[in-house]
Amino acid sequence: MKKIFTLSAVALISMIFLGACVKDSRYVDNENYWLSKERGEVIYSDAYCNYYVVQTNSGYNIIRSYSGYKPFEGDVVYGDFSFTGTRSIYNRSTGEVFTGTVTDYWLSYNGALDAIDYYCPLGTKSTSKSGFREGTK
C-alpha cells in the first residue's frame, strides 16, 4: 500500500511539473507568418536608451522597447511598422519574438535623428550628429 501511494504521488508531481512546462513564447513558431510582414533593419540601438531605429522601405521608424529585450544594430526584424502602437516583432537574426511600441514611422533620415535625440537626449551616439550607420537596403 505504501508503494502505491508513493508511486501515485511521484506520478502526480510529474504530471504537474510536465504540464506546467510551456514552450517559451519568445521563439518563433511560424516563420512564414512573420516573413509576410514588413521587413526592416535595426540601424541604431544604444544600451542606455530604450528606443531604437528600424529602417524599412517606407522610411525610418522609432520603436520603444518595454520588455527588456532590444535588438542589436544590423539585426533584421519583421513586423507591422507602418502605424503606431504596441505589437510583437520578430527578430530573424536571433529567432526571437519580442514586444515593441512604434512611436514614429515613415520618418526621413534627419527626422529619425531628431526624434532619437528627443527621446534620448543624453548619452546616446546620435548626439554627436554623426548619424546612424546606413542599412543594407
Low-confidence ranges of the chain (pLDDT < 70): 1-28, 123-130, 134-137
pLDDT of residue 30: 87
Q: Where are the domains of the chain?
A: 31-128
pLDDT of residue 130: 59
pLDDT of residue 132: 72
**pLDDT tens-digit map of 39-63:** 999 999 998 899 999 999 999 999 9
Cell of 61: 521608424
pLDDT of residue 65: 93
Q: Provide the CA 76 distance to its chain's centre, in angstroms.
A: 10
